[in-house]
Amino acid sequence: MIYYIGVVGTFAFGISGALVAMNKRLDAFGVVIVAFVTSVGGGTLRDTLIEGRDVFWIDDPTYIYFIIGGAITAMVFQERLELLRKHLMLFDTIGLGLFTIAGVQVGLNYNLSYSICIILGVITGAFGGVSRDILVNEIPYIFHKEIYATISILGSAIFLVMHYFGFGDGLYQLIPISIIILLRLLVVSREITLPSLYTDLKRKKKTE
């Protein structure tokens, strides 16, 4: 199950990375490289953090073909760009759901504590998008646009509760994945954001 999650997530993030790169007017190889980094960035960081674990795509080049497939898919459908701009969010969300749960599962396989499993879930789900945004020179989207990390943490926690009660294997994993995807789609469509913590002191003083 975790293998198929990884492959589908790789493909979805490959499309998402390629769309961002095309919006930034990168050339074809730039598009493939940004798609690659978006796809494998999170899982690669997770695997280098866990001592003794091989980086997933180095042992199995299948992932690379799916990323290139995702990038080509995005390029072929570039004519429908405005349509795809909405799809960017969709593919990014599918990748987030799949990779978050894959990351938590890896942590469980190594018997790491629950708090570390949640962090590995967030890293696997979100770091690819963070790398993509750093590469195209923007403040990562995750930090200011939406309750992105919050949803990833919530999905990880639900999965860990399910795992604790023995419902963490196979198709059961589709439950937290679906919750993450649906919650993010809901949040984006309602334009819900967490409040910024910055208090504009100068304005406050003036009004006093």
Q: Provide the binding-site residues for its own copies, judged by CB under 8 A.
A: 21-31, 33-34, 36, 44, 48-55, 57-58, 61, 64, 75, 78-79, 81-82, 112-113, 115-116, 119, 122, 130, 134-140, 142-144, 147-150, 153, 193-199, 201
Q: Which residues contact 48 (CB under 8 A, 6 or more apart)?
A: 55
- Nearest distance from C-beta of residue 177 to its own copies, angstroms: 20
Nearer to its own copies, 33 or 174 (CB): 33
Nearer to its own copies, 48 or 169 (CB): 48
Nearer to its own copies, 62 or 178 (CB): 62
Q: At what angle do helices 114-135 and 28-49 cross, to 10 degrees?
A: 160
- Nearest distance from C-beta of residue 126 to its own copies, angstroms: 8
- Nearest distance from C-beta of residue 182 to its own copies, angstroms: 19
Structure tokens at 111: 């018997």
CA distance 139 to 145: 10
Decide: 33 and 64 in contact? Cβ < 8 Å. Answer: no
Query: CB burial class (10 A; 0-12, 13-18, 19+) of residue 69?
Result: middle
CA distance 133 to 113: 30
- Nearest distance from C-beta of residue 203 to its own copies, angstroms: 12
